[in-house]
Amino acid sequence: MDAKLSHDLVGIEGVLTRTLDHALDVLDRIDERPAALAPTPVTPQPLPEHGLGFDSAFDDFQKRWAPGFSGSAGARYLGFVTGGATPASIAGDWLTSVYDQNPTAGIDSAAPDLERETIARLRELFGLSNAQQGVFVSGATMSNLVGLAIGREWLGENCPNRVDISEHGVGMLPPIRVLSGTPHSSIYKALSVLGIGRRAVQKIATLKEREAVDLDALETALERFEGEPVIVVANTGTVNTVDFDALPAIVELKSRYSFWLHVDAAFGAFAALSPDHASLTRGLDGADSICIDLHKWLNVPYDAAVQFSRRRDLQVRVFQNSSAYLGVPTDNPDFVHLTPENSRRLRALSTWFALAAYGRDGHAEIVRRNIALAHRLGRMIAEQPGLKLLAPTRLNVVCFTLAEQPDEARIGAYMLAVRDLGDVFITTTVYAGTWGLRVAFCNWRTGERDVDRIFQSLVRALG
């Protein structure tokens, strides 16, 4: 065994103790770390011929890289709809690496069954029926890709000459129409990967001053494309204004028109945990496939998302891996037959710990608090000269802009000015043709004092 590796094996307690001490110091001082900061150049170092050993490697990390890491785990990192990591989920993530399970197949470990239990608990959390079969993937983009891939297979099954797309390819279908009011950018990416193409998206008119799809316009499009392969992508929480499509009405359209209904509920699904907003998620169970991102509002470490579908048989047809040592799919298929990955880490463990430790009530409290904080900041911005809301604060995202000349250059400069103050990180967007900014509340640590500090920073950045 290599001498440095042998040394670290014998001294594993010291390795983990030093790592723990550093982790505790980072978390204890997370409030002091800039929410975000401009990356500073770091001179790349070549691969060492002879390893440094853990202690020297750790010294190098602390000196060259750690100072440039943002406070993204903290209370005021409010860009990209990013959660933090709760204590129990951090423990689960550490144990994921310690146990290093590959839950590909169920012949050597109980790990796949832990994932199945976690999926069942998530179904309960979101009020879904057992018809929705789930699997863990890396994030919302992969969840959307998997759902759309199953939808692509369904289109082949329902075309006049019944084509097995997984065997013969998407070229056997006529052009696919993807209808959506406000599709997330990851939908376009997934369609590109799947060979359907970004131009397959047909944007449907939205309601006035809303991001929710106009149901009459959607039905008109379904009538126009009747008999053609169609996927409808509905939104349960848009990124700019957290608007919700009327899912019950869209599900009802399935009784009259043939289409695959995929719902992008990346973070909006968590509205189900708020009594005042749970009605927004009604109809979610009627979807054919669902995307929910867990490293957003569930506050588990990257990367973790769940993908639900009613057609596990088609999912297996798309993703099955034919190999003697992996076996054939059964009625309870191994995960190797359900996602693009073969090897995969037990990313369900962090979620299992989070759900077990804090339950429905703990996560519902985070959701309710974040919503209340977003509304509070929205009211403060509405009353501040120099700033104005671009849309009502519906859930946990505040969408606003500069009161004067909100063009790309000024908005970009303002975002950087806010970032460089170090108190809060927000991201830019375009809403209804106007450049603006988004403040997305998802972090379990965020409280009222943080909102005061955030607002003060937004005002200071005005100059």
Q: Summarize pLDDT for 211-258 with one digit per residue, the tens.
A: 999 999 999 999 999 999 999 999 999 999 999 999 999 999 999 999
3-state helix, strand, coil in the chain (%, to 5): 45, 15, 40
Average pLDDT over residues 72-98: 96
pLDDT of residue 106: 81
pLDDT of residue 193: 97
Q: Is the pLDDT of residue 348 over 70?
A: yes
Q: Do domains 3-71 and 91-354 have the same CATH topology?
A: no
Average pLDDT over residues 259-282: 98
Q: Is the pLDDT of residue 94 over 90?
A: yes
CA distance 194 to 318: 11
Q: Are 31 and 80 in contact (CB under 8 A)?
A: no
pLDDT of residue 453: 97
Which residues have CB under 8 Å from 206's CB, separation 6+?
181, 182, 212, 213, 214
Tokens read off for 337: 């037959």
Fold for the domain defined by 91-354:
Aspartate Aminotransferase; domain 2 (3.40.640)
Picking from 335, 309, 271, 321, the residue whose alpha carbon sits closest to that of residue 106 is 335
Fold for the domain defined by 3-71:
dopa decarboxylase, N-terminal domain (1.20.1340)
Average pLDDT over residues 4-11: 96
Tokens read off for 426: 């927000």
| Pairing assessment for the beta strands 427-431 and 397-402 based on DSSP bridges | unpaired
Q: Are 78 and 72 in contact (CB under 8 A)?
A: no
The 3 state secondary structure assigned to 150-218 is: HHHHHHHHHCCCCCCHHHHCHHHCCCCEEEECCCCHHHHHHHHHCCCCHHHEEECCECCCCCCECHHHH
Q: Is the pLDDT of residue 331 over 90?
A: no
Q: Are 299 and 444 in contact (CB under 8 A)?
A: yes
Buried b (16+ CB within 10 A) or exposed e, 361-399: ebbbebbebbbbbbbbbbebbeeeeebbbbbebbbbbbb
Q: Are 128 and 309 in contact (CB under 8 A)?
A: no
Residue 366, helix vs strand vs coil:
helix
Domain spans, the chain: 3-71, 91-354
pLDDT of residue 238: 97
pLDDT of residue 325: 66
Q: Are 360 and 111 in contact (CB under 8 A)?
A: no
Which residues have CB under 8 Å from 269's CB, separation 6+?
126, 236, 237, 281, 284, 290, 292
pLDDT of residue 330: 80
